[in-house]
Amino acid sequence: MEKSNVPINWVKIKVVEISEIIRGVSYSKNDATSIKSESNCLILRGGNIQDGNVVIDDDCVYVDSGLVKSSQFLRKNDIVIVGSTGSKALIGKAAICNEDRNDIAFGAFLMLLRPNKLITGRYFDYFFLSDFYRQEIRQLAGGININNIRKEHIENLVFPLPPLAEQQRIVAKLDSLFARIEKLKASMERIPQLLKDFRQAVLTQAVTGKLTEEWREGRELEEWESSSIGKLFDVKTGATPNRSTTGYYSNGTIPWLKSGQVKNELIFEAEEYITEIAVKETNAKIFPIDTLLVAMYGEGKTRGQVGWMKLEAATNQAVAALVNEAMPLITRSYVFFYCLSQYNEIRAKAEGGNQPNLNLSKIKNWEIQIPSIDEQKEIVRRVESLFAKADSLEAQYQNLKGNLEQLPQALLAKAFRGELVEQLPTDGDARDLLAEIQELKGETAAKGRSRTSTAVRKKSTIKNMDIESIIKEHFKDEKFSFDDLKRVTKGDYETIQKKVFELLKRKKGWGLVQEFDDGRKQMMLKSRNYETKKG
């Protein structure tokens, strides 16, 4: 945590002073299953910790609930931390548990922090979403081979503790502000699609004459002419030089464009370069500046997209190059906008099986309506003006989105510096709260020692309990599973298991045998009197 002072009635402490660290469930591969049942529970792993939340996906692991201690089930305000993993991106990530879950525990590679009941659990939780915590983790995981966080790393984290009343005000303020941020984010989610729809509407109106409908009134203009791409341009394609041929790519100086770079925008540079030898020895061609490109095939949305080359470059065979160096710039701009407007229409002309493609013939036959040169100028001017406004709105959106993404951390930083809410004289001092917590921990430890002594006596009783009577009373001669027995027995898992194994090994008198139950698809237990059978 940064070195700045906290308010005078706050106190900086170690996390271990206000919380308990609980170890995860240890289990073997044989204990794990991907099938949920009434007798097992979900075990969280590193992949379930995402963006501060516990996320349950389809790749789940379940173990018998008998392997899980009651303290290992999730409770409200628990913090689950990735303590050991092969991924440095995951190490130290924390998630908040928002409710008690008696059907979810956590594995041994995770750590669980349970806040003391005398502090506000939600305040404790917010700390582990803050950059204060994340910076500490980044420092711990900074080494090349560091892939685990030790218990003492978490225990020794510095925690800013305010008085209880201020904790509650901070949480109320953060909850309110975070809710407003999420609401604003939700309201902004539609903006990119609205801008996309706006640009498409502008293009559609431009190439159908609606954008300049009023402008044409009172002007003597030529009628729009029907033409095709093949009549306006020399339509060509390129090639992909053999990558295994020495001298085609190494130290290349000629820009070489692929269909993936055709993205409905101007193209100023290439991702790859080829050599002059490659151009001479293959079908690759160098096209002039201002050549328009159409992607004929490619993955996803690539097919049908257009580009405008602002450099001399070669292309691969997946791209159609529209060449006409004599075409006026204004007409080229109009054609570019026309092609943009027809994206869905030209894609629909593709043919093929799993990956439909366009070809040069379809590109050449692509019909286009051409207005007079004066109307082309007005169309291009209006489209560029409206697009500039859309670009400005998009820039504002991106700026606001970026600010909103940073705002939660800024609020958390203020909260843990004591700057988010006002300190009140009636709040008292956090040192008094800390003393109360320490007193409670002392009392709990004393009770724990007493319970341990009692538990030893109870365990001894359980070991000697009459499981035979329990089975005869509850199940008689009926088949039952180990889980059925565990539900009616108050003993611990290991003790019951040991007694069952003893009864299975018994070959005289009353004992147990195992039988597979086809209906329940599992191994069942059943009582058996060996002496009776022999008699």
- Domain boundary (161, 186, 212) is at 161
> Can you give the pLDDT at residue 446?
67
Query: CA 157, 163, 167 angle in degrees (round to 5)?
Result: 75
The band of 521, judged by pLDDT with boundaries at 50, 70 and 90, is low
> Can you give the pLDDT at residue 454?
54
- Please give the average per-residue pLDDT across 293-315, as a whole number: 93
- Of the candidates 82, 86, 135, the residue with the CA atom closest to the CA atom of residue 106: 82
- Domain boundary (161, 184, 212) is at 161
pLDDT for residue 364 is more than 80: yes
pLDDT for residue 519 is more than 80: no
Which amino acid makes up residue 142?
A: G
> Can you give the pLDDT at residue 18?
95
Residues 155 and 231 in one domain: no
Tell me whether residue 421 is in a domain. no
> Can you give the pLDDT at residue 141?
62
Tell me whether residue 299 is in a domain. yes
For residue 308, give the 3-state DSSP assignment: strand
Residues 140 and 235 in one domain: no
> Can you give the pLDDT at residue 376?
97
Tell me whether residue 382 is in a domain. no
Residues 19 and 151 in one domain: yes
Is-contact 259 298, C-beta < 8 A?
A: yes
Task: Please enumerate in sequence order all residues whose Cβ is within 8 A of that of 451, keeping only pairs 6 or more positions apart, or say none.
Answer: none
Is-contact 323 294, C-beta < 8 A?
A: no
Is-contact 302 260, C-beta < 8 A?
A: yes
Residues 139 and 31 in one domain: yes
Residues 6 and 153 in one domain: yes
Which amino acid makes up residue 209?
A: G
Q: What is the dihedral of CA 430, 431, 434, 436, to 10 degrees?
A: -100
- Please give the average per-residue pLDDT across 339-348, as a whole number: 94
> Can you give the pLDDT at residue 535?
41
- Of the candidates 9, 6, 1, the residue with the CA atom closest to the CA atom of residue 427: 9
- Please give the average per-residue pLDDT across 325-346, as a whole number: 96
Which amino acid makes up residue 336?
A: F
Residue 458 CB neighbours (<10 A): 14
Tell me whether residue 297 is in a domain. yes
Residues 127 and 237 in one domain: no
pLDDT for residue 534 is more than 50: no
The band of 316, judged by pLDDT with boundaries at 50, 70 and 90, is very high
Tell me whether residue 117 is in a domain. yes
Is-contact 320 360, C-beta < 8 A?
A: yes
Is-contact 234 326, C-beta < 8 A?
A: no
The token pair at 461 is 């009783």
* Beta-ladder partners of 235: 322
The token pair at 321 is 């190059």
pLDDT for residue 89 is more than 80: no
> Can you give the pLDDT at residue 304?
95
**H or E stretch covering 405:** helix 373-417
> Can you give the pLDDT at residue 474?
78
> Can you give the pLDDT at residue 461?
44
Residues 229 and 157 in one domain: no
- Of the candidates 80, 93, 6, the residue with the CA atom closest to the CA atom of residue 43: 80
Residues 154 and 241 in one domain: no
The token pair at 427 is 């709040």
Query: CA 122, 125, 127 angle in degrees (round to 5)?
Result: 120
Each residue's pLDDT tens digit, 429-468: 999 999 999 988 877 666 666 655 555 444 444 444 577 8
pLDDT for residue 531 is more than 90: no
Cα(first)–Cα(last) distance of the chain, in Å?
Answer: 78
> Can you give the pLDDT at residue 498?
77
Tell me whether residue 230 is in a domain. yes
Residues 232 and 366 in one domain: yes
- Domain boundary (108, 130, 161) is at 161
Q: What is the dihedral of CA 168, 172, 177, 183, to 10 degrees?
A: 140
pLDDT for residue 525 is more than 80: yes
> Can you give the pLDDT at residue 468?
80
pLDDT for residue 289 is more than 70: yes
> Can you give the pLDDT at residue 472?
82
Task: Kindly report which listed range (2-16, 58-72, 167-181, 273-287) carries the lowest average pLDDT score.
Answer: 2-16
Its domain, for residue 469, covers 465-534
> Can you give the pLDDT at residue 447?
66
- What DSSP character marks residue 243? T
Is-contact 287 312, C-beta < 8 A?
A: yes
Domain of residue 245, CATH code: 3.90.220.20
> Can you give the pLDDT at residue 426?
94
Task: Kindly report which listed range (48-52, 139-143, 316-320, 421-425) carries the lowest average pLDDT score.
Answer: 139-143
Residues 137 and 229 in one domain: no
Residues 153 and 269 in one domain: no
Residues 154 and 236 in one domain: no
Is-contact 292 363, C-beta < 8 A?
A: no
> Can you give the pLDDT at residue 507?
78
Tell me whether residue 453 is in a domain. no
Residues above pLDDT 90, as percent of the chain:
64
Each residue's pLDDT tens digit, 14-57: 999 999 999 999 888 889 999 988 889 999 998 889 888 998 88
Number of folded domains that form the chain: 3
> Can you give the pLDDT at residue 464?
44
The token pair at 1 is 């945590």
CA distance 91 to 134: 10
The token pair at 442 is 């002392």
Tell me whether residue 415 is in a domain. no
Q: What is the dihedral of CA 223, 226, 228, 234, to 10 degrees?
A: -40
What does the mean pLDDT of the chain come to?
Answer: 89
- Please give the average per-residue pLDDT across 170-192, as a whole number: 96
